[in-house]
Structure 1
Amino acid sequence: MSIQQNTASSAVSSTTSKLLQVLTAVALGLFIVGFVGFSHVEAMHNAAHDTRHANAFPCH
């Protein structure tokens, strides 16, 4: 019975870890996009703008 509990616990732990990683990546991405996209610092805005164009991502 102990082996089954360890396996189930490991599966839950793995799922929780993956979910935490995804949520952290989403939060970081939204922070970066929001911070750079709405920044009044011209250099940051231009760097983000040039990066979007370099990746063929339409921005306007």
Structure 2
Amino acid sequence: MQSIAVPVASTALVSRWPALLALAIGMLIIWGAAFAQPSAIHNATHDTRHAFGLPCH
């Protein structure tokens, strides 16, 4: 009987993908809201901008 080695994906890397994707999406949302021009978005994120140290005026 022969045995065949089958490579298995590292569970450490596989388990990190959802967290990395969530981080990337969150950063994209924060970045997009921080530099948005419409006043409705500006007013909704005004305090968040200052909390992150981003200029808004």
Q: Could you tell me which residue of structure 1 aligns to residue 21 of structure 2?
A: 24
**Post-superposition offset of 1:15:** 2.2
Q: Which structure shows the higher helix fraction?
A: 1
* Larger gyration radius, structure 1 or structure 2: 2
Higher relative contact order structure (alpha carbons within 8 Å, sequence separation ≥ 6): 2
Task: Name the TM-score, length of structure 1 as normaliser.
Answer: 0.55
Residues in 1 aligned to 2:45 and 2:15: alpha-carbon distance in whole angstroms: 28
Q: Which runs of 4+ in 1 moved over 4 A?
A: none
CA RMSD in angstroms comes to 2.9
Task: Name the TM-score, length of structure 2 as normaliser.
Answer: 0.57
- Structure 1, unpaired ranges of 5+: none
Report if aligned partners of 1:39, 1:45 keep a CA contact under 8 Å in 2. yes
Could you tell me the percent identity over the aligned residues? 26
- Structure 2, unpaired ranges of 5+: none
